[in-house]
Amino acid sequence: MDRVRVMLDTTAVSGFFKGSEDIRKRLGVIDELYVNPVVIGELTAGFMMGNRERKNREILKKFLSSPRVDIIDIDAETSERYGAIVSYLRRKGSPIPTNDIWIAASAMQYGLSLLTSDRHYLEVTQILVDFCEQ
């Protein structure tokens, strides 16, 4: 049987931390969860601007230490895919935030569907998007 492998964007991880029933239900049936450093950076920036930084960092550390969770690298191949997505979105006239393009490029590179609550990922036809409610 094939293992279910999914990339999480920042909204999915954040929604999980906030107790989103939809996201928790979906994550419960996934064998392998992936995030990239951009997601961790966005979460960390949010923690630093909030009033629960230490607690949120502990929650993130526990989440990342799960045997089901892995951090994938951003490398030269990711950069090629980033360029392809940027070029496509500009020609289409549908830009999305730069960090989200890096996240999409990682999903594309590793052949992972992307769990997100950001609808703008639906503009990125190079990846499979699993849209969920927060």
Write the CATH number for 16: 3.40.50.1010
Q: Which domain holds residue 44?
A: 5-131
Q: Which two tokens stand for residue 46?
A: 């949010």
Total domains in the fold of the chain? 1
> Phi then psi for 111, rounded to 5 degrees?
65, 40
- From first to last of the 134 residues of the chain, give the pLDDT tens digit: 688 999 999 999 999 999 999 999 999 999 999 999 999 999 999 999 999 999 999 999 999 999 999 999 999 999 999 999 999 999 999 999 999 999 999 999 999 999 999 999 999 999 999 998 77
Q: 0.75 exceeded by the pTM?
A: yes
CA torsion 36-38-43-46 (nearest 10°) is 180
DSSP label of 120? G
